A and B are shown apart, each in its own frame.
Chain A
Amino acid sequence: QVQLVQSGAEVKKPGASVKLSCKASGYTFTSYYIHWVRQAPGRGLEWMGIVNPSGGNTTYAQKFQGRVTMTRDTSTSTVYMELSSLRSEDAAVYYCARSYSYYSWIDFWGQGTLVTVSS
């Protein structure tokens, strides 16, 4: 069955970076794009960007340009999302999720990773 297993919760200080992972299984890794979407406590969903596991191409939301990097490792079917210069507003649950193409709906989500930003 399809699984997107995300790494565990993180606690970071303001100004630090965090690197989250998302390990895919149950389907052909390179056949689906991976999105990163975050949700601050009690807030809505915010789309951060998309990565093509096949070629590594990425598109980031303008809001995160310069702070976010999405990469993939095809040998382990894992996608990574690194967010730098963390601030308190970055505290959120971060989800990875897949879609079958670039212009497509998300059909499956990971369980989420909680990132806490606190001094």
Chain B
Amino acid sequence: DIVMTQSPDSLAVSLGERATINCKSSQSVLYSFNNKKYLAWYQQKPGQPPKLLIYWASTRESGVPDRFSGSGSGTDFTLTISSLQAEDVALYYCQQYYSTPYTFGQGTKLEI
């Protein structure tokens, strides 16, 4: 199984400041045939199901504010929130969909 490890486990950022969450996979999730990185990011608020933010490591889902961005290589990925808003307080998860089981990171709790 591909192990996904996020860092940090929790993060406190001031309003308007940048937040950076890292995700590392135990093996590459880059498929050389199409040069796609099989990595997604989700946001989960208390009592709600997760919500898709980013797929293909850097493609923003429709309707997601442009302050959210994703980047990374085959094994190291980053979710960046450029200017933190109050509504961004949540848990954030990365997930690889390169091979089953489609494993998630342990989550990062983002606070103000």
A59 touches B93 (CB 8 A): no
Interface stretch of the complex, out of A24-32, A69-77, A78-86, A102-110: A102-110
Contacts of B1 in A (CB 8 A): 62
B49→A112 contact, CB < 8 A: yes
Q: Count contacts on B: residues with CB < 8 A to the other chain.
A: 23
Q: Are A45 and B98 in contact (CB under 8 A)?
A: no
| Given known A-B contacts A106-B40, A107-B52, A50 and B93 have beta carbons under 8 A apart | no
- With a CB–CB cut-off of 8 A, which chain A residues contact B107? 44-45
Per-residue interface assignment for chain B, residues 85 to 101, with 1 indicating a CB less than 8 Å from any chain A CB and 0 otherwise: 00000000101011011
Within 8 A of A (CB), among B42-76: 42, 49-52, 55-56, 61
Q: B residues bordering A, Cβ < 8 Å?
A: 1, 38, 40, 42, 49-52, 55-56, 61, 93, 95, 97-98, 100-107
Q: Which residues of A contact B (CB under 8 A)?
A: 35, 37, 44-47, 49-50, 59, 61-63, 95, 97, 99, 103-112
